[in-house]
Amino acid sequence: MAKCEVCGNDYYLAFQVITAGVTHTFDSFECAIHKLAPICDHCGCKVLGHGIEANNTFYCCAHCANSAGARSIVDNADHAPAQ
């Protein structure tokens, strides 16, 4: 069994995630998200989707990026081509 590095649970279904060459062990996706997900620099929420990176900073959406001063950022849903 392997121990989760976030909660310490020793669990037979633990899994590993390798990011930036570092191996992490978790017992749940919740713990993996808690440890690894970037945080929006504007509102502070965890970025679980694609998010936006502007000026070497992570944001959860175009609104937060624009509010923080990033320009020329748009949400695709707001600017999708007409069908």
C-alpha torsion 66→69→72→75, nearest 10: -20
3 and 9 Cβ atoms separated by less than 8 Å: yes
Please report the pLDDT score of residue 44 as a whole number: 96
**Which residues, in sequence order, are bridge partners of residue 19?**
22
Query: What's the pLDDT at 17?
Result: 97
Could you give the CA distance from residue 67 to residue 36 in angstroms, rounded to a whole number? 24
Specify the higher pLDDT residue, 54 or 13.
13
Does this model's pTM top 0.85?
A: no
Q: Looking at residue 76, what is its pLDDT?
A: 62
Tokens encoding 5 = 């590095």
The three-state secondary structure class of 29 is helix
